[in-house]
Each structure stands twice: as C-alpha cells, then as structure tokens.
Structure 1
Amino acid sequence: MRISVDLNRCQGYGQCCFADPSVFKLRGEEVLEFDPAPGDEHRLKVIRAAKACPVQAIYIGESYEEQEERSHRHE
C-alpha cells in the first residue's frame, strides 16, 4: 500500500493521527508527517484515516509489489 497526502489541502485537523498514530503524526500544530508505505497490517486503519479526513487529503494506492502481483495474475 502506498499513501500520499495533499499537504496543500491538509488543514492539520489530525483525524488521521487518531485513526493510526503509528502512520500519521502531527509535528507542532500543523505539520503532518506520515509513512508513505506502511505495512499491510495498517491497511484498515489507513482506510479509516482517509475516510475521517474532513478535507479528503489522503490518497491510497497500490505499492509497486502489489502492482506487480496484480499484473502477473492477469498474464
């Protein structure tokens, strides 16, 4: 899983930090830090974090490995 955050859109509400504090952290009051490639064990919490974001600034995609696996299944 890969995640990205539109930091121009992010307002620092911190709802993602409550959903998965091991992936999302606020530094100070407004600077969001996050792990762009958390392990699969974080998938449900990251999905909850993305849904909880009031400005919908969190995007979830596939990791390179997931893309490769999917492409091999279709061959």
Structure 2
Amino acid sequence: MRVEVDRDLCQGHGMCEMEAPDVFEAGRDTVTILNPTPDESRRAQVEAAVRYCPTQALKIVED
C-alpha cells in the first residue's frame, strides 16, 4: 500500500498524526508523510487516519 495526500485539500488538522504518528506528521497547514509505503502491520492505523481526515485529503493506493 502507498499513502498519498492531496495538498490542495489538506489543512493540517492532525487527525492522521494522532492515528498513525509513525506515518504522518502534521504541520501548520499540511501533513508530511513520513513513510509513504508503510508495511501491512500499520494498515489499521493508516486506514483510520484516512477515514478520520476531516477534509478527506488522504488516500491509500494499493500497489
């Protein structure tokens, strides 16, 4: 899996970082993806981060 962020939608709320702090780091206005290809052991956390993003700026792309 690969995680992507739409920087036009992201507002840096930080919900993703709360769900998966080893994958996302919220900045002032946008998020940085620390690990764009997390392993399967992180799937539940990453899916929660995508689900709870208030602006729906995150998505998982299956490779």
Whether the TM-score (by the shorter chain) exceeds 0.5 is: yes
In structure 2, the residue matched to 1:30 is 29
Unpaired runs of 5+ residues, structure 1, are: 64-75
What's the offset of the Cα at 1:61? 1.4
What's the offset of the Cα at 1:26? 2.0
Unpaired runs of 5+ residues, structure 2, are: none
In structure 2, the residue matched to 1:60 is 60
| 1:60 alignment partner, SS class | strand
Q: Percent identity?
A: 37
- RMSD between aligned alpha carbons? 1.0
Aligned length: 62
Between 1 and 2, higher relative CO (CA 8 Å, sep ≥ 6) is seen in 2
What's the offset of the Cα at 1:32? 1.3
TM-score with structure 2 setting the length: 0.89
Amino acid in the other structure paired with 2:10: C
